[in-house]
Every structure is written in C-alpha cells, then in structure tokens.
Amino acid sequence: MTEQTTRLVLPSHIEAVGEAAAAVTDFVQSCGIGEDAAFGIGMAVREAVTNAMVHGNQEDDTKSVEVVFNCLGNALEIEVRDQGAGFDPTGVPDPTDPVNILKTSGRGIFLIRSFMDEVEWFGRPEGGTTVRMVKKF
Amino acid sequence: MAELNIRERQAGDITVLDMDGRITIGEGSVALRSAIRRLLEEGKKQILLNLAGVGYIDSSGIGELVSSYTAINKEAGELKLLSLTQKLRDLLTITKLLTVFDAYETESDALSSFK
C-alpha cells in the first residue's frame, strides 16, 4: 500500500455530496481497501460531508467543505473541514435509544462512529470544525 | 437518470412500490416522500416498499423510511419492507430499526402479512 493524499474542496450544496462519495470510492480502491470496508468508509464520508454542508456551513454559497484523504501504511485517515460556527458531538442523542428510534434525523454521527475506528471533532483556529476519521487495516 | 426510480403497482388493496436506485439526501429522499404523500392523499394506506433495487441509502434515506412509517401509521395504514439488500439489512440492524419495520424476503409472505 503506497502512502498518498488527495484533497477535495466542495461547495456547500448537497448535490456535491455525490462528488465526495465518488472521490472516496476512487481513493479507497487506489489504497487497496476491500469492498466491505469501502462501503462503511464511503458512508462515513457521505455523512460527515453532509453534516459539514448542512449543519456546519448552513448551505451557505460563500463557504466550502474541504475533504482530505490520507492513505497511510496501515490506516486510512480522512478529515472533513467546514467553516461553520462549531459543533459539540456530546450534545447528539443516541438514535438507537427507544425514545429516539422514530426520529427522522440524527443518525449520521452514529453511522460515522459505527463504521470508523477513530472519530474526533475539533474546532479550527481559523474557525469551523474538523472531523477526523480513521479506519485501520 | 433519476437518482431513484419508483414504479407503482397494485396487489389487491396493497400498493407495491418497486424502487430502483439510491435513497440519499436530496433527490432520492424527496422522491420517496412525494410518492408516500401522494398515495396517502389517494387513500392508499397499505404500502409495500420493494427495496431489492436500492443499492445505497444514507441517514437521510433511513430518516425518510421512518418518516414514511410514522405518516402511514398515523393514517391507520401499514408500511412493510420487501427484499432488503444485505447492506441495507445491516444498516437497519445497527440502527435497531429492524425492530420497528416489518421486513420480508418474499413478496407472497409480505402481501399475506397485511391485515
């Protein structure tokens, strides 16, 4: 597996989520990742990019979402960066709790955590939020 | 080509929606929402979603399935799922939604389960 990096800058339109999904599909193939792991990674990236566009940047045309893929020796690291007001992941309720099970939203972060080995959110000094996700092999 | 194509057919009182494509944020989720709303307006409340052709769904699409389920239940109807792909079944398992939805592998079993 060769170390490589790809960087993508997307407008804050949900139509561009598909572009991120296509990029992650190409990237995981070039990293030699198997189909099962690729599905989960693709889903995590879709959810993170959707959150960045919709909740982070509020679909503001003047703001962009940056996605950086790093294929390391034994892991894939992905960062999704928005230019929003910040995000507190501890405030998101568990969507599998019976009181939340029929809610129509709030499953994106749960799915990201389900499919990736490490997930962390941090504020950026220049503003906005980065979510860093790692899948180990 | 549309993100999600939906074909409608009747099996007695039950409306079957054969879905082909992806149910994701934007066009796919909106197409499902519009189809369910229209059926409820037409008084069709027993609905079977054939998901055999749905290769991908995201959290928005899962939310739309839940929204469809609650909207149909509110009208005293029934929504059931048919032919989940393995990936969709896995997603509904980890989100614990297989405890909510009635899902069937064969159309005859699904149709005979309606009241």
How high is the pLDDT of residue A1?
A: 53
Given a cut of 70, whether residue B94 has pLDDT beyond it is yes
Does residue B100 carry a pLDDT above 70?
yes
Task: Tell me what the pLDDT averaged over chain B comes to.
Answer: 96
ipTM here: 0.91
Across the interface, whether the CB atoms of A17 and B69 are under 8 A apart is answered no
Q: Check residue B2 and give its pLDDT.
A: 74
Q: Report mean pLDDT in 10-residue bins for chain A, 137 residues.
A: 84 91 88 87 95 95 95 92 90 95 96 97 91 93
**For B4-100, which CATH superfamily applies?**
STAS domain (3.30.750.24)
pLDDT at site B63: 97
Burial profile B44-82: b = 16 or more Cβ within 10 angstroms, e = fewer: bbbbbbbbebbebbbbbbbbbbbbbbebbeeeebbbbbb
Q: What are the tens digits of pLDDT across the range A106-135?
A: 999 999 999 999 999 999 888 899 999 999
B59 touching A (Cβ < 8 Å): yes
- Model confidence pLDDT, tens digit, residues B32-87: 999 999 999 999 999 999 999 999 999 999 999 999 999 999 999 999 999 999 99
Could you give phi then psi for residue A123, rounded to 5 degrees?
-75, 150
Q: How far apart are CA A76 and CA A61, in angstroms?
A: 30
Quick one: average pLDDT of B18-41?
95
Residue B18 has pLDDT above 60, yes or no: yes
Mean pLDDT over B20-28 rounds to 93
At residue A48, the pLDDT reads 97
Q: Which residue of B has its CA nearest to A39?
A: B87
Residue type, A77: E
Residues 72-91 of B with CB under 8 A from A: 87, 91
What percent of chain B shows pLDDT beyond 90? 94
C-alpha distance from B113 to closest chain A C-alpha (Å) = 22
B26 at interface of A, judged by CB pairs closer than 8 A:
yes
How many domains in chain A?
Answer: 1
Mutation target vs B (from A96, A104, A113; most B CBs, 10 A cutoff):
A104
Could you tell me the CATH number of the domain that includes residue A102? 3.30.565.10
Range of the structural domain that residue A112 is part of: 4-136
Does residue A41 sit in helix, strand or coil?
Answer: helix
Calculate how close chain A gets to B43, using CA atoms only, in Å.
23
Is pTM beyond 0.95? Reply is no
- Taking residues B85-96, what's their average pLDDT? 95
Q: What are phi and psi of A62, to 5 degrees?
A: -85, -5
Taking any CB pair shorter than 8 Å as contact, residues of chain A touching chain B are 14-15, 17-18, 39, 43, 46-47, 50, 54, 95-96, 101-105, 107-108, 110-111, 114
The bridge status of strand B4-11 relative to strand B14-23 is antiparallel
Q: Touching check for B53 and chain A: CB below 8 Å?
A: no
Q: Which residues fall within 8 angstroms of residue B37, CB to CB, at 6 or more apart? A: B71
Q: Is A107 in contact with B59 (Cβ distance < 8 A)?
A: yes
Decide if pLDDT at B1 tops 70: no
